[in-house]
Chain A
Amino acid sequence: MFQPLEHGCTLKKGDEALKGYRKYFLNKLFWFLLTFVAAFLLNFILPRLMPGDPVAVITQKVATGMQSQAAVQAVYQQYAEQFGTNKPLHEQFLLYVTNVFKGNFGTSFSQFPRPVSEIIKASLGWTLALQFPAIIFGWIVGNLLGALAAYLKGTFDKFVMPVSIFISNLPAFGMAVILLVVFAVNLRWFPTSGGYGFDMIPSLRWDFVRSVIHHYQLPFWSIVLIMIGGQAIGMRSMAIYELNADYVKYSRFMGIKDQKIIGYVFRNAMLPQVTGLALSIGTMVGGALIAEIIFSYPGLGTTMLSGIMGQDYPLISAVTLIITLMTLFANFAIEIIYGIIDPRIKAAQSD
């Protein structure tokens, strides 16, 4: 008698939750696609808003950077052909989008005749391997420290909080410079620049891998430390807020053990931190790119810098697009995960 009832009950309930989640998912997907299109549009339109004839401006920039007249001519032709500058705007946009989807970002000006896609391909992996682990790791450690500071209070809190506040007020490049000077220049524990030893050829040999790990440390920790500072502060105030919530008092008076209640509190305090991560990931990535530059890490940040220095328009355009898409995807992924872990989302949607 009891068994079928429970079964039917949860099935109906599960259906409702699934419906709620589907609604949430579709809503997020819609936003994701819309922003996706907008990102393409912005990347397409902004350079075309440049004062004067963009082709002339760009080729002029190229001409100053190159010696060979033939090369200039080749770039000019490539550019005109690829961007179809004499066609109407909407056709240009279509051309641009098809090119991007084929992975064709044109030819680099500053590293002529290397295709931009090849340069991006070489640096994208480095950035992904550096930033994603660093941001996730920093997020986890920062939240743990903030939660502990809220729970333990006292000396731990008095030590962790001022340090976190100070660190989070340092710009990302500031932290990078400090780590570089202390650990690479003065103590010489780590190399000052690059992604691996300059005398090495990338391979899967052990000494190469070791060199990569060695070069990885400082950029990684500079991002992690900045992340920890900001997250710890946010988590601490969320956890303090939750610790004073009515359900904590009620659960205590129902005789539930403190450890279990702390579990409720941290789960609830963590949830806004997840959305916080989604909202701030764009800013984080920006800071992390600058940190890459300080360490001349062979990622997108350094590539962007060399593009700017070399007035390499196709390269900059491609890098900014890739970065935007990266954060867009990360944001979407976080929102989707958030929908799964916070039951309130499903409940709110099924109303």
Chain B
Amino acid sequence: MGKVILEVKDLTTKYITRFKEDVYAVDHVSLKVEEGKSLGIAGESGCGKSTLALSLMGYYFPPLYYTSGDIIIDGKHISGMDPDEVRKTILGKEIAYIPQAAMNALNPTQKIINFVEDVVRAHNPSATKKDIYDMARQRFEFLGLPANVLDKYAVELSGGMKQRTVIAISVILGPKVLIADEPSSALDVTSQKMVIKMLRDLMDKGIIKAMIFITHELPLLYNVTNDIMVMYAGQIVERGSAKEAVFDPLHPYAKGLMGSIIVPEEGLRNVKLTAIPGVPPNLKHPPAGCRFAERCKFAKPECRVISVQIKEAGPGRTYRCIFSESELREAYKNG
């Protein structure tokens, strides 16, 4: 087992709506990512995967609030830290974030270099202009981006270039963990490939030590990350290696999710496309038992009453279901 870079213990965060209701979008989530590894998080939209990404940063602003749990990055506990301390010493330096629509993540009226200056100076106020420019140019060229991007405004860049620029800026301070929230969803196939290649490069060249990749496109996860975690209604329902999670899922939801993807090698003809009926529960008033029970075709009456804890199923393999491993496999075999 490698060194653990990111560890999350029982993290719970909530949104407070304008009607003063609490919505627990991340509910007692625990995870570990080791050095040199990447973790994919999958789930339907609204399952809490993006909120988890925001929560992992340890920096909260309304309407998102921290409730309980612990985030440890490379041995540093960041969940109890003063927010300004987190801003200064953690954000961008220990953990960095690539937002969902990176095309809009850059201020349209600012030159890239000026934003980079602001980022660097936010952590090191004494950095000189020349040093920052030098460093940024080196980092950009190292990542295969032309240095003249620095002198441009975001509006002058193409979509793919904007995306790569955002990635380059995110890692400019050499963070240990990178969280990428659907970084490629809005791009065309060519740009998508470039982004994925760039993220892999970051890991290979050791610029970052661990990565969390969030997407609803499962084939992408299978190709990019070592492990996959499936979220449903704010909770983790399945975790395993990429191969296990995609080809041998345990939780009925994970099974359903994988059933709705097309694996190109097998061709279209042999694949039955199954959509999961129903909609995720309203997190303002989550159901008492298993949150997936309403939509699960294997559900028993007690599923709606008993809330299930995470179960181990081999090394690095967990799932959250009332049934045992063998019962599940049996059920899937019979359809």
Contacts and interface: CB of A to CB of B under 8 A. Distances in A.
Q: Do chains A and B touch in the complex (CB under 8 A)?
A: yes
Contacts of A255: 87-88, 90-93, 119, 122-123
Given A2-B134, A256-B122, A343-B153, A264 B96 contact: no
Q: Which of A246, A252, A260, A350 has the most CB of B within 10 A?
A: A246
B107 A254 contact: no
Contact of A348 (B107, B152, B155, B170): B155
A246 B154 CA distance: 13
A60 interface: no
B92 A254 contact: yes
A342 interface: yes
A60 B215 CA distance: 81
The size bracket of the interface on A is 20 to 34
B106 A250 contact: yes
16 contacts: A13-B151, A245-B104, A246-B101, A250-B97, A250-B166, A252-B91, A254-B97, A255-B91, A255-B92, A255-B93, A257-B87, A264-B109, A267-B109, A343-B109, A344-B108, A344-B155
Interface in B241-278: none
A267 B109 CA distance: 8
Contacts, number: 90
Question: Which 7 A-B pairs rank lowest in CB-CB distance, beginning with the nearest?
Answer: A255-B91, A250-B105, A246-B104, A253-B97, A247-B107, A255-B92, A347-B156
Interface string B148-167: 10011101100000000010
Given A10-B151, A253-B97, A255-B88, A260 B122 contact: yes
Interface in A301-346: 342-344
A264 B155 contact: no
Interface in B77-112: 87-88, 90-93, 96-97, 99-102, 104-111
B99 A246 contact: yes
Contacts of A350: 156
Nearest to A20: B156
B61 interface: yes
B34 to A, nearest CB: 23
Given A250-B105, A254-B92, A344-B108, A13 B148 contact: yes
Contact of A253 (B96, B152, B155): B96
A253 B180 CA distance: 12
B107 A264 contact: yes
A251 interface: yes
Contact of A256 (B57, B97, B119, B147): B119
Interface string A147-189: 0000000000000000000000000000000000000000000
B140 interface: no
Contacts of A254: 91-92, 96-97, 119, 122, 169-170
B302 interface: no
A13 B152 CA distance: 8
B319 interface: no
Contacts of B57: 253
A249 B169 CA distance: 14
A6 interface: yes
B292 interface: no
Contacts of B166: 250
A9 interface: yes
A350 B166 CA distance: 23
B327 interface: no
A82 interface: no
Nearest to A270: B109
Contact of A9 (B92, B105, B151): B151
A271 interface: yes
A253 B153 contact: no
B15 interface: no
A271 B156 CA distance: 18
Given A255-B119, A256-B119, A268 B109 contact: yes
Interface string A223-267: 000000000000000000000011101111111110010001001
Given A9-B148, A254-B170, A347-B156, 14 more contacts: A2-B134, A246-B105, A250-B105, A250-B106, A250-B166, A251-B107, A251-B118, A254-B96, A254-B169, A256-B118, A256-B119, A256-B122, A264-B110, A267-B109
B133 interface: yes
A342 B118 contact: no
Nearest to A14: B151
A255 to B, nearest CB: 4
A8 to B, nearest CB: 10
Contact of B92 (A253, A271, A347): A253
Nearest to A248: B107
Contacts of A245: 104
B103 to A, nearest CB: 8
Contacts of A13: 148, 151-152
A271 B109 contact: yes
